[in-house]
Amino acid sequence: MTASLPLSPWSAASLTLVPLVWLGIRRMRSPATAVGGNTLGAMAMTGFVALAAIEHGLWKSPAAWAWGLGGAVAGGTLAARARMIRMPELVALFNGLGGAASAIVAALALRPGSASSGVLSRAAAPPAAAIGVLTFTGSLVAVLKLARVLDARPIRFRGQVALNRILLAGMIGGTLAGPWMNGTGTPAAAALMLLFGGAAGVTILLGVGGADMPVSISFLNALSGAAAAVAGFAVGHPAPVAVGIVVGAGGLLLTNDMCRAMNRSLGDVLAGRIASAPSPVLPEGAVPAAMPPSPNDPVAALRSARRVIIVPGYGMALAQAQAAVRRLYDALSRRGVEVWFGIHPVAGRMPGHMHVLLAEVEIPYDRFKDLEEINPLFGDCDVAVIVGANDVVNPAARTAAGTPISGMPVLDAGAAKTVVICNLDRQPGYAGVPNPLYDRPHVTLCLGDAAETVVRLAEALERC
């Protein structure tokens, strides 16, 4: 089985740009080289667009120039104006737009009279259309949940599971029937695949809770790559195949790592099975009467510390407290304290969210350690400073049954000699599970806006 279109010189030329994409992705492994890596990727994408425009004569079309410039202005404006706290929504939106582009390409490949009319095109176009539009609508739901326009908790309705199965079965059926479609039936088939995929993206993502958004965004990223790769087969172009496979494979590997970090399967996350389990929630403002008063002076503990581990969480992002954390890091470093940052794989609302925020204030990347690296260090840590983190340090994950975090590996911050918690309040995190760490005698609560409480700690150290 061969592609329906011969490989043109322009298509062959575009393959020379693929290594730029690979190199760009590789350079994004470190904040020190990430900007250069992003530039390489952008250059490669610009080259792909330019070669396609030349091959198909689009560079002569005023409409093509208008659409291209409009997209460039819209994308540049979004990127320039988006605050760091909105970066998860922006990433999810870009995932969705990539899926939508692939869906449009695949649907056009199925239209009567299309040059992409071979068996391979008819086989690849239906799944590309369905996966692409699923990515688009699912990403829109994710954006609305992250922005709190929709309830961050799982949204369910009667017959939702059965409907999801019907929609997925329809997508699979359309894929299997693709090679046997004829010219008159393909427009209706394309419309049906778009309908199935779009509806599935909405109904599946509605059932995902806000705490599972990092996994969902990673999976949607993988789907956007898969849609691009399959759309490349549909139109007989090798560049989207090569790049889409890289993006899809990378997204799946990241999704697998994040699911393992949560001790849950992707099926559980997408079905919201564990998130639906009831868990006790403290009434707003309630404080257990048996909570012992903390005798610890956080500033004194930090003054005498040799090793400090800072644990950032989504609350740090909400408070935009990364600059305050940098100030605390500098104050400790000047005193000769060994400072590390313990970062849980699902801290924040997108993969690598904490890394992005800390890199923004130029905290050295070699100070970051993941869960497996940092946990053995907590036992020899003088002070653990938790900044806006809750679920990822909640020891109830090991003891409480039937909760969204049951069995999830967490950071062992409680093993430090002194724990300082700079959270807004004592309320549970997104998972809705009360944190017993707050009640331990070696824990000091510095409740309030983290941008203020962390600065006060740094100022106290600077005066010494």
- Active site (catalytic) residues: 391
Q: How far is CA 182 from CA 20, 57, 223, in A?
A: 39, 29, 27
3-class DSSP assignment, residue 281: coil
Instruction: Please state, in angstroms and rounded to a whole number, the distance separating the CA atoms of residues 336 and 263.
Output: 37
What whole-number distance in Å separates Cα of residue 423 and Cα of residue 409?
21
What share of residues in the chain are helix, strand, coil (percent, to 5)? 65, 5, 30
The residue among 391, 347, 402 whose CA lies nearest residue 370 is 347
For tokens 């899926």, the residue is 99
Q: Give CA–CA dist 131/41, Å, rounded.
A: 23
Please report which residue ranges of 147-273 form alpha helices under DSSP H.
160-177, 186-206, 213-235, 238-262, 266-271
Question: Quick check: 51 and 8 in contact, CB under 8 A?
Answer: no
- 8 Å CB contact between 377 and 307: yes
Structure tokens at 318: 């909400």
- Locate 93 and state its tokens: 């939106």
CA-CA distance, 97 to 198, in Å (whole number)? 13
